[in-house]
Amino acid sequence: MSDRTDETSIRLPESWRSKSTALLAVGAIGLLIGGAMFLWGTDQALASRYLVHSYLTNFIYCLSFGLGAIFFVMIHHLCRAGWSSSIRRVAELIASTIPWTAILFIPILLMVLSGSSMLYEWNQPKADLHGLTAEKTGYLNASFFALRSAIYIGLLIWMTRWYFRRSTTQDESGSVDLTLQMQKWSGPMIMIYALLVSFLAFDWIMSIDADWYSTIFGVYLFAGSMFGFFALMICLLMALQDSGVLTRQVNTEHFHDMGKFLFGFTMFWSYIAFSQLLLYWYGNIPEETNWYRERLSGGWAALGYLLIPVHFVLPWLGLVSRHVRRHRFGLTFWAVWALVAHWLDMTYLILPNSGPVSTVVIIAHLLVGLGMFAILISFWLRQASQVSLLAVRDPRLEESLAYTNPLL
């Protein structure tokens, strides 16, 4: 036991801790340059539209890792999983970036409350709205939107803190009761989580096209979030191991399993994305196809077609073999790939609503994205430097350390 939990191998390396502030600065600079490029580099009439859409895209991108992480933690407890005990703390740390990431939503909330309809077209006087949107103002209005957003953020923070606090308390006390408690509440919390993610996706992303609706949209965001989360987990753990942390506690078997999840969620995302497309394609009703029509015009069509190989075919073929999933470089490659694919997917959900695409838009959007991602990692480092990277007194830790995949 002592060999497995000695301080140096379960603490964030000193070299990493110091980078937190630097990354925050880098992120802020990225945001500023990206924002400036939008404001002065693009068509003046659309410049601020581009900026807010890009900002929202990247905010959702960063939030989605936390969304995936909290689900992973809850499902771990729900299934009384043993294998994932040794990687659970890293997931908990990703989840606990949510309270910080949520700060980044404040500008959007303020924008909505100030009556701007640049992002959400429903945020106008009812007289100016038409068709279905006008009928939806009972739900889609600034104050109710703000209230719901506060509830989503509040619930997410509460959930992540609830799990994080119990898990870290166990590091000290080693109490098995805490594990039982977390198990007991994981079921109800997952139900709340399912509703929360669905409505969050409806309100924050889908209502940009206030006329359009898709009941599967929440699941779509969830599928993408899980895909992105496992990619980030693999990347973080690989990087941590390269710095000599968790090298004996996380092994090929754990990476193999995360690789399986990454593979599975490639498939799941495609299944959901296609389910949504098929119904609208088949029905071919103008008000339903409009969402896809916007994504087939203004130069965005290429992005949509790109997602098919980038988010599905290539990672599917790449990860189908167990040899790749057990190979350090192979898995890292596809994890990084998945981070990019997930970013493209989030871009596809939001950015086409802003206006036609151009090189400047792509570069500026990328800069904002990198900036936001750097801020997310900075938040993660800030969280991770305070606790151990391993749930050292988890009752199932031994099981996790001894875990092996059955040989096929």
Partner 1 sequence: MAEFSDEHALLDAARKVKASGYTQTDAFTPFPVHGIDEALGIKPTILPFIVLCAGLCGLATALVMQIWMNAIDYPYIISGKPYKSWPAFIPVSFELTVLFSAFTTFLGMIALNRLPRLSNPVFTNPRFDRVTDDKFFLYVDSRDKYYNSQAVHDLLKGSHPEALFEVEEDSSSSSVPTWIYYTLGSVILASMIPAMVVFLMRNSTSEKPRWHVFFDMDFQPKKKPQQKTTIFADGRAMRPQVVGTVARGQLDQSDPFYLGYDPNQPTAALLKGNQLVAMPIQDGGQDPKVDSSSTATPSDSKPAEATAPTSDATQAQIPAAAPAAAPAAAPAAAPAVSPSVADGGQAAAPQAPAAPMGIQRAWITEFPLPVDPGLIALGKKKFETYCSVCHGISGTGDGLVARRADQLAQGYWLPPTSLHDPKVVAQPIGQIFYTITNGKGKMAGYGASIDPRERWAIVLYIQALQRSQDARLEDIPQEKSAAASGPTGG
**Residues making contact with partner 1 (CB under 8 A):** 274, 277-278, 281-282, 284, 320, 322, 404, 406-408
Tell me the closest approach of the beta carbon of residue 340 to partner 1, in angstroms. Answer: 25
CB atoms inside a 10 Å sphere around CB 183: 15
Within 8 A by CB and 6+ apart from 276, the residues are 214, 216, 217, 220
**Based on CB atoms, which residue is closest to partner 1, 277 or 302?**
277
Nearer to partner 1, 215 or 275 (CB): 275
Whole-angstrom distance, CA of residue 251 vs CA of residue 256: 9
**58 vs 39: CA distance, rounded Å:** 17
| Min separation Cβ 334 and partner 1, Å | 18
Minimum distance from CB of 247 to partner 1 (Å)?
22
Of the candidates 237, 272, 267, the residue with the CA atom closest to the CA atom of residue 255: 237
To the nearest whole angstrom, how small is the minimum distance from the Cβ of residue 304 to partner 1? 13
Give min distance, CB of 278 to partner 1, in A. 5
Q: Which of 152, 261 has the CB closer to partner 1?
A: 261
Element (H, E) at 94: helix 88-95
Residue among 45 and 407 whose Cβ is closer to partner 1: 407
Closest approach, Cβ 403 to partner 1, in A, equals 8
Q: Cβ(90)–Cβ(377) under 8 Å?
A: no
Q: Which amino acid is at 277?
A: L
Between 180 and 277, CB nearer to partner 1: 277
Residue 158 vs 281, nearer CB to partner 1: 281
Q: How far is CA 217 from CA 134, 196, 199, 205, in A?
A: 21, 12, 9, 9
Dist. CA 283–CA 276, nearest whole Å: 11
